[in-house]
Amino acid sequence: MWRRRFAFVCSPLVSSPKSTLIHNQAPYWHEHAKAFTTGNVNSEEGISSKVKVPFITFVLGLGGPGSGKGTQCAKIVETFGFAHLSAGELLRKEMSSNSAKGVMIRDTIKEGKIVPSEVTVKLIQKAIESSNNNKFIIDGFPRSEENRITFEKIIGVEPELVIFFDCIEEEMVKRVLSRNQGRIDDNIETVKKRLEVFVTLSLPVLDYYSRKGKVRKIEANGTVEEIFEKVRPLFAAEKVSTK
């Protein structure tokens, strides 16, 4: 059912409309403009006209673990020089701290649920703030409309591009069981739960960005190189230079 629905909202391979600063929702960029400018920012004049809004790409995969998006993100970083921000890795790092927030994140992920939006966005914000890069791939986010709205409210920008890796369930299960990385979400039950969550929560995100002409669907069945040859033209269309 969800596959038939998504086929109608996914955009063809064309250049997407450029993202803009959300002027009435941009507290982050007003506070941290110096990190993204080629000139000085005069505090009495506001943000300099030379401030560069970052090129942000959201990367989503059907059902989460095993969709292959993490591997493809690494290829994009290697080829096009993006900074890779994995929502999952940021959350796992917080879990490893054994803080109260980390325990909450661990329990939520074990249940196949989505971590509260503000928690994830604040971790992403911190990572962006500490980077010298201006091109970011945000992997595994947003997974719900609440995620999306919270990101745009706190960070104050929209993505230039949203890449969706569509992978059949059998292939995802095979990849999860073969990678043996010791992750708590590396099991068949979590894959099935995440598929259910995707249909309920993530499809509206793709619908929203599809209406803005930003979504590009990649059939993620095949070898790493075969899939990347489908990804590469997306950034060429956006005129993103190679490293």
2 close to 203: Cβ distance less than 8 angstroms: yes
When pLDDT is cut at 50, 70 and 90, the band that residue 87 belongs to is confident
- Residue 187 sits at φ, ψ, to 5 deg, of -155, 160
- pLDDT for position 209: 96
**Considering the entire predicted model, what is its pTM?**
0.70
CATH top class, domain 7-233 = alpha beta
Q: Give me the residue spans of the domains in the chain.
A: 7-233
What are the tens digits of pLDDT across the range 32-79?
444 443 333 333 332 233 446 789 999 987 655 555 788 899 999 999
- pLDDT for position 52: 65
* Residue 238 vs residue 227, higher pLDDT: 227
List, in order, residues 6 or more apart from 69 with CB less than 8 Å away: 59, 60, 61, 139, 140, 163, 165, 220
Given a cut of 70, whether residue 186 has pLDDT beyond it is: no
What are the tens digits of pLDDT across the range 112-150?
787 889 999 999 998 998 999 999 999 889 988 999 999
* Residue 17 vs residue 226, higher pLDDT: 226
List, in order, residues 6 or more apart from 120 with CB less than 8 Å away: 87, 90, 91, 141, 147
- Residue 223 sits at φ, ψ, to 5 deg, of -80, 165
Candidates 133, 198, 144; CA nearest to 172 is 198
- pLDDT for position 78: 94
- Report d(CA 213, CA 207) in Å as an integer: 10
- Residue 53 sits at φ, ψ, to 5 deg, of -70, 130
The secondary structure of 141-194 as a DSSP string is ---SHHHHHHHHHHH-B--SEEEEEE--HHHHHHHHHHH----TT-SHHHHHHH
- pLDDT for position 109: 83
For the chain, the average pLDDT equals 75
Neighbours of 204 (CB within 10 A): 13
User: Which of 26-30, 188-192, 226-230 has the highest mean predicted lDDT (pLDDT)?
Assistant: 226-230
Candidates 163, 209, 207; CA nearest to 13 is 163
SS3 for 2?
helix
Mean pLDDT of 155-174: 81
